Structures are given as structure tokens and as C-alpha cells.
Chain A
Amino acid sequence: MGAKEAVRRRWAALGWAYGLLLAFGVFFVAPFVMGFLASLKTDPLEWPFRLAFSQVSPKNWAAAWRLGQAGSGDPWLGGMRPGRQVALEVVYFVPRGVEPTLLAEIPRRKPGAGMGAVFETPYASDHVTLEGPIPLERRPAHQEEGEIIRYRLVLRYQGEGPFLERVPLDLEAPRGMVLVEATLDPTRFERRGRVASWDNVTPGLLGYVFHNYVRAFRETRSLETGESLFLRWTLNSFFLAFVKVVTTLVFASMAGYALARLRFPGRQALFLFMLFSMMVPGQVTFISNYLVLRDGIFGLSKLFGVETLLNTYTGLILSGLVGASAVFIMKQFFESIPREVEEAALIDGATPLQTLFRIVLPMSTPALGALAILTFQGTWNEFFWPFIVLTSPREIYTLPIGLLSFRNAYGQVGDWGLILAGGFFSMIPVLILFAVFQRYFVEGVNVGAVKE
């Protein structure tokens, strides 16, 4: 084989490698990117899919920032406070022969689905007065016969009143008149382009770009306390994941150590039994587990004055203190630690527990790290079992179950933006975890696999 041939081969190999990587990248990352972009859109089901839409245009970012600032002093989340005013400019093209009449209105608008449909929130139309549209400038159009008119609209919030989360606006023009430019692009056009409609003219930057995300937090309120349910669910998920990581680490390392190092009768049988329990899918045991929780673990919980463990975190945590696979991972890892280290501890007079916590565990950070990450990720995404145990009230849901309730509330009216946003939001912690602790993920698979 000549040098030329070798070079050719190397390039071919490189080509294959990068080609494959690129193909995989497109396969896995593209849906992710498209999903994220869609979650920003007003209509996430928009077809054909556009990459350039109003939420990604810097002009709108600047306008949203400025309008939010003017409306409430909060450039991020916007809204409108008493004593403030915002101004908006729109430019229309009016073809020759059409009388330019522009009607503006602050509509009385109520969400059609979800909690928003039932909660009474203050209406902007009751508090904000609209001035205009005032024609500012008229000039003939270049391309077509007709003229270009620039209008100005001023929204004033006079007197006292509540804070308004959003101020909608509708502009109605006769057929033929076309909106060519606006300070802030309208949320949607209706009635075949005649009505330009803004859901909120004081959105703030986040409120504009991450419209659906903000809605997810704002529109899901607890009926009792009025607090954001979505936030509650997120905190619940964090809490449960945290508790489960701690219990798993403690119990898996203790059990794993006992199985790896201590000699006691029935050890092998116990290990085999544990392996066996790993092979039984959760769907087989969930009914009996459910009944056990329902009766408060054979009535034991009644000693503490709790009738049933359904709909409680105690039940959920107790039933998932530690998994067999976690014990397995720790056992295998402990077996890879040289015995001599522990013997040295023994000579120094350490008890098995002291050996475990003082000597072995500090040496096991890779395994513990991997286990913690895998457990966190598993608990964060867990759906089936919490879904069965936690049914009500809604305040105790975890994020995945909460997302399901989104689907029920908003999916039936085709409001997918909120669901998509919720789904993306629930992904963020796992994503961060993965990015930061990537190394451990890979190790987690290897831990215990290689023995000396």
C-alpha cells in the first residue's frame, strides 16, 4: 500500500466518521431545536414551519423590552401599572380607492381553556384608555398604487387600579389595507388579515419571547391558595428527587457493602433474591404495592395517625427507598476496592460501619456520583408510580404528572404551546445535570463492570 493510498484511506475514514456524526447530530438534535423553536411560537403547530417568526426577531426583543419598561417598569415580564402609558406605532399600506379607516380597541379577552377560563382577573379594557390611532405621516407608496400611513396609538392607565398582567389590543382595517410595519409584531392576524391582534402590548422581553413559558407559570394556579401550581410541581419534583438520591446513596452503599464484604448465612441467597427482584417489572407488582400503601403498610401507619399512605410523599418515598440495581452497582464497586485497605482499618480497630463510612465511602466517590446522577434523573422523570400514588390534590403532583394535566386542560382546545413549553422546562434540570456530570454518566455504566 503506497503513501497515497494510506492518505486516501485516512480521509475516507474521517469522512465516514464525520458524516455519521453529522447524521446522528441532525437526527437527535434537530427535533430538539425544532421543538424548542415551536415552543416559542404563538401557534406551535404552524405549517409550513418557519424559522423566522416574530419571537426570534431582535427588533421585537427591543420593542418588548421597551414596552415592558414603559408599562410597568419591569422590562423582563412587563405588564401595566396605574399612572403609566405606552405608545405603539403601526404602518399601513392603503391601496388607491380604499378609505383608510383604522379601528382600534382594547378587547375584553378571557382565556378559553385551563384555569384561566374560570379565574376572574382584571380586564385591561376596564382600566386602560386608548388614544388614537392618530395618523402621523402619509406618503405615497413606491411599489404599488396607494399610500403609506403611519399611525400612533397611546395607551394610558389613569387613576388607581390593579396591576394588569396583559393588555391586549385589536386593530381592524378595511379589506385591502395591509399592516406593513409595527413597533411590535402582532400576535396573530385574523379575519383574513383584516384584524391585527396583540395578546399583550406590554409583554417585556421574557414575556414576549418565552410567552408560553410565562403562561405555564401564571395560568396554572392553585384554587385554594392562588400560588403557581407549575412552580409547586417543579419544587415537588426537586424535593422528591433529592430525598430519593439521599436514601438511595445511604441504603445502597450499606447494603452493597454488607453483600460485598460481610460474611453471614444466606448472603448468597439474599443476593440472588435481590437480582430476581430486579427482573420483575414494576407493572407486575404495582397493584399489590398500591394495596399495601392504601392500607398504610398493613395498618402500621395508623400508629402515627395516618389512615392511608396514598397521596402522601411518605408512601412514595418509603416504597422507593432504594432500588436493587443501585445496591448491585455499589456491591460490584466495593468488590473492586483492594481488601488490604480494609484490613489495615481492621487492624487499627475500626468496626465494619466505621470502615464503611471512614474508609470505603470516601474512596467510592465515582460510584456514588454516578449513582446519584442516575437516581436523580430516574426520579425526576419517573411517571408511572407517582401517577398511581398521587392523584389529589393537585398541589402534590410531580412535574411529569402536572404535564399530563396540562395535556388534559389545554390539549383539548389545541393549545399545544403551553404543553410544549412545560415539557421543555421539565427537561432543563436533566439537561444541566447531563452537561455538568457527563463524565459520571459514562462511568456509571462502567462502574462495577471492571474488576481486578
Chain B
Amino acid sequence: MLRVWLILLALAGLASAQVQVRISGWGGTDIAIVNGLLKEVVQPKLDRKGIRVVYQPIEGDYTQWLFNALSAGTAPDLFYVDIFWSESLFASGRVEPLDGYFSKQELAEFLPNLIQAFTYKGKVYGIPKDFNTLALQFNKDLFDEAGVRYPNQQDTWETFEAKLQQVQSKLKDVAGLCVVADFARFGAFAFATGWKPFDAKGHTVLDENFRRAFEWYTGLPRRGAARFAQDLGEGWTGGCFGGEKAATAIEGAWIAGFLRDKAPNMRYSTTFLPLDPVTKRRGNFIYTVSWSMNAASRNKPAAAKVLKALTSPEAQQWVLERGLAIPSRRALANNPYFQRPGKEPELNRVVFQGSGPQGGNVYPFKFLAYGGDWMRPINDALLAVMTGQKGVDQALRDAQAALDRLTGRR
């Protein structure tokens, strides 16, 4: 009897020695990825330290859930933060700055652009778990059939457009590119001109450079190089591409999974976005998500250990080798995975390099704390011009007025 009690006591002692760290992210494919990562890489490491990770994926509106949970005090210790709404969350003071847990050296091992993206008022609030940038995918069959040379990384807007025009005129039923009225794509071209979304005062000025990119992008359908995605019954450039309605697409690595189901046999290849003919540079977005820590967490040291394990080189290697996401560590740039033959490693490589010097003027996909409100006037302007409701002058004037109201410029 005594022995039984002793064993029970010992077990109870073990159970209490184990610290629980709750982590959350959104649902979908991420559930399987994080679960696999925890099972195979993270948890075995943490078992020795007496830490148990409890993963709670959230279906539905993750942003809303997170903000609610943080207010209700039920938020987990670690959670995803999307760059897009990161600033408004960091400004609320409910996220723990991580400078105290990570040394300068440790932070320097991540891509500087990404760490910068999660830096708010000089402090780092999140460790990027992965990221994406835009790249140009092209269907080799269609270019071969039209007898046009493939797009390459020396292409400027002009030479790229000429290729698209040729494809569209030779094949008739295929568009060169299908364009969308979305700053999340067009913005990369605006950045290439040297235009910045915000000036030093935090105001947005749609200057001559912006106008140049705007005119080029919205004029593509009129000049016979592209068609408007909605006219082809699609909502994104990848949809047109997968259905062979367009010869090229401007998307990130997320298109790979879609094409694997939609067009597994497509012979596609990937290169960088074309260069602005004037500045001879390109632009790009960084879409990224971090692991961040709850400022109200009760076991911060343990949470920091979990955070480190989740973003460790082994963890990122695991994710990369399965082609599930693009890692945020600099050292992985030379990973053999990127050199493997095949369309998906190539796509991932170009997307990875898009965040560095080859990406040109790269900005994170966030607009201070304005979020989608900031993009709306520009998207409206793009739509109005592409559908012929407004001229360029009128559309830009209206967008500028709306942005001024938003940013308090006048």
C-alpha cells in the first residue's frame, strides 16, 4: 500500500514539475504543419526541460479571436501575428517585447528584413516563422507554343510587356497576364520606382513615380498584354494561370499547393518580377507571420524556450524540406533543398531570394496601423481605371484625397 502511495506521490510531483505552454495559430493547413513540427522536432527537445506544449489551432477569424482572447485573459502564451495587423496589436501593449529573451546575435541569424518588419518603436515583438514574397511564374508550354522567349530576370517592364503582347496576340485565347485591382500585387511595381508608402511624417503621397507604375499596370489590358482577372472569371492571378487562361502569374510560394491540385502536370517556371526601366530596380512585398509572446503569460521563460525551439534551425529545416513554407533564417539560403531540380524548389528559391538584395525595394505588407483601410483608396483607383469608370488623373486625385483624410495630411 505504501509503495502505491509513494509511486502516486512521485507521479504527482512529476506532473507538477512539468510546465505547460499553450500556443495558437490559425487553422487550415497550418494545423498539420505545426502538429508535425511539434511531434517530430520541438517536443522531443522540450521534454528534457520539462515543458509540455499544448497546441490550440483556431478556425475562423483568427484576428478577431486573438484580440478577444487577449482582452478576456484567455489568450495562449505564444501565438501567430500576421505582419498586416501587427502594429495595432503591438501598440496595445499586450505583446511581450522579445529583446530580453533573444540576444543580438540570435536575432541576427534571421533575415534582417523580417526582424525589421516585427520591430516596433525599437523593440522586437515577434520572431518570423516563415515568409513569402512575390515572384513571376510562367507557363513554358504557352511561351513555346507562341514561340516567345521565356521571361527572365533581366526583363524590364517594357520587354516583359512585349513578351506578353506577343503571347496574347499569337495564342488568341490566352492572356499574357491577368491583372487584379489589388495593391497587394500592384504595390511591388510601385515600390520598384522608388516610391514609398509613407513619408517621414507618416503621410502618403501618390507622386510621379507612383503614377508611372500606376499607368503602366492599369494600361496592360488596354495595350493587349493582359486581361482583367474578373473578365476571365477568376479572382486572382494564380486562378487564371492554373486554368491556362493566362501565361504568367504574379504570386508567392502559396501558388505551388494550388497548382499541385489544379494542374499537376503544368510545366511552369519561376523568375523575379521585371525591373522598372527607369530605376533598373524591382520592388517586392514581404508577407510574414511571427510567433509572439503574450505579455500576460504566466510562464514567460518556458514560453521563450518554446519560441526558440519553434524557430530553431532544425524546425525550419523540417518545414523547408517538406516544401511547406519558406524559412526565415539566413543560414538556410544555401540549403540544398533550394538547389533541387523541379519547379517547386525553384519557385521557393526565387521567393526566398525576393526578400534580399535581388528583391530590390522590399517593404513588409503592412501599412502602419491602418491595415486594409489604407489600401482601399488605391484598390478603388485601380479598379476604376481598369474598368474604365475613371481616368488616371481623376482616380489618383480621389485616392489622394481619401488617403489624406486617413493619414491626416490636410
Residues of A within 8 A of B (CB): 45, 47, 107, 109-115, 117-119, 170, 172, 175, 190-192, 194-195, 197, 223, 290-291, 294, 310, 387, 391-394, 397, 401, 404-405, 408-409, 412-415
Q: B101 an interface residue at 8 Å Cβ cutoff?
A: no
> Quick one: which of A119, A170, A394 contacts B265, CB cutoff 8 A?
A170
Contact check, B260 vs A110: say whether CB atoms are below 8 A apart.
yes
Contact check, B233 vs A47: say whether CB atoms are below 8 A apart.
yes
Q: B26 an interface residue at 8 Å Cβ cutoff?
A: yes
Contact check, A109 vs B59: say whether CB atoms are below 8 A apart.
no
Contact check, B58 vs A391: say whether CB atoms are below 8 A apart.
yes
Which 8 pairs of residues, A with B, have the shortest CB-CB distance? A112-B260, A112-B257, A118-B32, A408-B28, A392-B56, A413-B258, A405-B59, A409-B28
Q: A191-B266, A290-B72, A294-B72 are in contact. List 16 more A-B contacts (CB 8 A).
A: A107-B264, A112-B256, A113-B258, A114-B32, A117-B257, A118-B322, A118-B324, A170-B265, A190-B244, A194-B141, A195-B265, A294-B74, A391-B59, A397-B59, A401-B59, A408-B60
How far does the Cβ of A239 sit from chain B's closest Cβ, in whole Å? 20
Q: B390 an interface residue at 8 Å Cβ cutoff?
A: no
B255-279 vs A: 1/0 string, CB under 8 Å?
0111111111111000000000000
**B-side contacts of A112, CB under 8 Å:** 256-262
> Quick one: which of B29, B58, B233, B256 contacts A118, CB cutoff 8 A?
B29
Residues of B within 8 A of A (CB): 26-29, 31-33, 35-36, 55-60, 65, 72, 74, 141-142, 145, 233, 238-239, 242, 244, 254, 256-267, 322, 324
Contact check, A117 vs B256: say whether CB atoms are below 8 A apart.
no
How far does the Cβ of B148 sit from chain A's closest Cβ, in whole Å? 15
Chain B residue at smallest Cβ distance from A393: B56
**B-side contacts of A110, CB under 8 Å:** 260
CA of A413 to CA of B255, assembled, Å:
8
Given contacts A112-B261, A409-B27, A412-B28, contact A191 B267 (CB under 8 A): yes
CA of A175 to CA of B145, assembled, Å:
10
**A-side contacts of B26, CB under 8 Å:** 408
How far does the Cβ of B257 sit from chain A's closest Cβ, in whole Å? 3
Given contacts A191-B266, A291-B72, contact A394 B57 (CB under 8 A): yes
Contact check, B264 vs A414: say whether CB atoms are below 8 A apart.
no
**A-side contacts of B58, CB under 8 Å:** 391-392
Can you offer 28 A-B residue contacts whose CB atoms are under 8 A?
A45-B233, A110-B260, A111-B260, A111-B261, A112-B258, A112-B259, A113-B28, A114-B28, A115-B29, A117-B257, A118-B33, A118-B322, A170-B265, A172-B265, A175-B145, A190-B263, A191-B265, A195-B265, A223-B31, A408-B27, A408-B28, A408-B60, A409-B31, A413-B257, A413-B262, A414-B239, A414-B258, A414-B262
**A-side contacts of B266, CB under 8 Å:** 190-191
**A-side contacts of B60, CB under 8 Å:** 387, 401, 404, 408
Chain B residue at smallest Cβ distance from A221: B32
Q: Which of A112, A172, A195 has the most CB of B within 10 A?
A: A112
Q: Which of B59, B65, B266 has the most CB of A within 10 A?
A: B59
CA of A107 to CA of B261, assembled, Å:
13
Contact check, B261 vs A415: say whether CB atoms are below 8 A apart.
yes
Contact check, B257 vs A391: say whether CB atoms are below 8 A apart.
no
CA of A45 to CA of B243, assembled, Å:
11
Contact check, A405 vs B261: say whether CB atoms are below 8 A apart.
no
**A-side contacts of B142, CB under 8 Å:** 192
**B-side contacts of A113, CB under 8 Å:** 28-29, 257-258, 261
Chain A residue at smallest Cβ distance from B24: A392
CA of A392 to CA of B33, assembled, Å:
16
CA of A324 to CA of B66, assembled, Å:
32
CA of A110 to CA of B261, assembled, Å:
8
**A-side contacts of B35, CB under 8 Å:** 223
Q: Which of B60, B141, B261, B263 has the most CB of A within 10 A?
A: B261
How far does the Cβ of B340 sit from chain A's closest Cβ, in whole Å? 14
How far does the Cβ of B103 sit from chain A's closest Cβ, in whole Å? 33
Contact check, B257 vs A192: say whether CB atoms are below 8 A apart.
no
**A-side contacts of B28, CB under 8 Å:** 113-114, 405, 408-409, 412
Q: Which of A175, A310, A413 has the most CB of B within 10 A?
A: A413
CA of A170 to CA of B267, assembled, Å:
14
Given contacts A197-B265, A290-B72, A414-B239, contact A192 B244 (CB under 8 A): yes
Contact check, A310 vs B74: say whether CB atoms are below 8 A apart.
yes
How far does the Cβ of A107 sit from chain B's closest Cβ, in whole Å? 7
CA of A162 to CA of B344, assembled, Å:
28
Chain A residue at smallest Cβ distance from B76: A392
Contact check, B261 vs A413: say whether CB atoms are below 8 A apart.
yes
CA of A197 to CA of B33, assembled, Å:
29
CA of A317 to CA of B33, assembled, Å:
32
CA of A223 to CA of B322, assembled, Å:
17
**B-side contacts of A197, CB under 8 Å:** 264-265
CA of A397 to CA of B31, assembled, Å:
15
